[in-house]
Amino acid sequence: MIIDANHGSRLLDKGFFSDESLDFATRGVLGRAVHGASELGEVLATIGRIRHNSDWAPQWALTAQTVQREADADRSGGHLVSAASGYLRAATYWACVVDGVSTSTDAEAELLATFRSHRQAWDAFVDCSQGAHLRVEVSYEDRSLPGYLLRPDASGIARSTVIITNGSDGAVSDLWTPGAGALSRGWNAFVYDGPGQQSMLFEQHTHFRPDWEAVLTPVVDTLSARDDVDPERLTGWGVSQAGYWLTRALAFEHRLVAAVVDPGVVDVSASWTRHLSAAMVRMLHDGSRDRFDRDMRLATKVPSLGRTLAWRSRPYDHTDWYDLYRTVMDYRVDAELAARIRTPMLITDPDHEQFWPGQSQQLAQLVPHAETVSFSASEGADHHCQPLGRQLTENRAFNWLEERLDSPAHTR
DSSP conformation letters of 46-57 = HHTT--SGGGHH
pLDDT of 10: 54
| Residue 62, CA atoms < 13 Å, CB-side half-sphere | 12
The CATH number of domain 132-268+331-412 is 3.40.50.1820: yes
Nearest one of 374, 405, 361, 8 to 185, comparing CA atoms = 405
pLDDT of 5: 46
What are the E-state strand segments in 193-330? 229-239, 258-262
> Mean pLDDT by 10-residue block, N- to C-terminus, for the chain (412 residues)?
47 77 94 97 97 94 98 98 98 96 83 97 98 98 97 98 96 96 98 97 96 98 98 98 98 98 98 93 95 92 82 92 96 97 98 97 96 97 96 98 86 48
What are the E-state strand segments in 55-94? none
* DSSP code of residue 151: -
The CATH number of domain 18-128 is 1.20.1440: yes
pLDDT of 6: 52
pLDDT of 42: 98
Distance CA 37, CA 89 (A): 5
Distance CA 149, CA 137 (A): 10
Residue extents of the structural domains in the chain: 18-128, 132-268+331-412, 270-328
| Domains 18-128 and 132-268+331-412 agree in fold | no
